[in-house]
Structure 1
Amino acid sequence: MKLRFRENGPYVLDLPEGTPFRLNGEERRLEKAKLALCRCGQSGNKPFCDGTHKEVGFQGEAGEILVEP
């Protein structure tokens, strides 16, 4: 699994398709291999990114963390 910090954008989790996760106590499975999570705090679809960071002028450095099983 890799967690990327997009410059001036969201957190992006790179996971295998079908990876299970919990959201608000509900088990779900990823349909895509990438999951974009809000980093600016302004998304109308939290915890997911909806692109609002562009409208509010969010600034943040890029980076990444690799997590091996």
Structure 2
Amino acid sequence: MPTASNAEPRRVTIEQGGPVLVEGPVELRLPDGSTVTSDRFVVAVCACRRSKRFPFCDTSHRKKVRG
């Protein structure tokens, strides 16, 4: 089992105007002290706080375009 000194680093990608993509699995600690986990391969973490599934992104940050 990897230790902190020899563990592979997690890749975190910050999307312009979008979510923060984190290689999973992840455990997120929220401001109220609670935690949520995801075992997905890549986790989209909401950066704008508009998600109905916060802290996970549901693309609510996208502007609606009507044709």
Q: TM range, normalised to the smaller chain? A: 0.5 to 0.7
Give the number of equivalent residue pairs: 52
CA deviation after TM superposition for structure 1 residue 8, in Å: 1.0
Partner of 2:5: none
Partner of 2:14: 5
For structure 1, which runs of at least 5 residues remain unmatched after alignment? 57-69
Contact 2:26–2:43 (8 Å) recurs in 1? no
CA deviation after TM superposition for structure 1 residue 55, in Å: 2.5
Higher relative contact order (CA 8 A, sep 6+): 1
More strand per residue: 1
TM-score, normalized by length of structure 2?
0.59
More helix per residue: 1
Matches within 5 A, 1:1-69: 1-15=10-24, 19=25, 21=27, 25=34, 28=37, 30=39, 32-55=40-63
- Percentage of matched positions with identical amino acids: 21
For structure 2, which runs of at least 5 residues remain unmatched after alignment? 1-9
Q: Distance in 2 between matches of 1:38 and 1:55?
A: 15
**Structure 1 25/40 Cα, relative in aligned 2: closer, same or farther at 3 Å?**
closer
Partner of 1:62: none
TM-score, normalized by length of structure 1?
0.58
Q: Distance in 2 between matches of 1:33 and 1:46?
A: 18
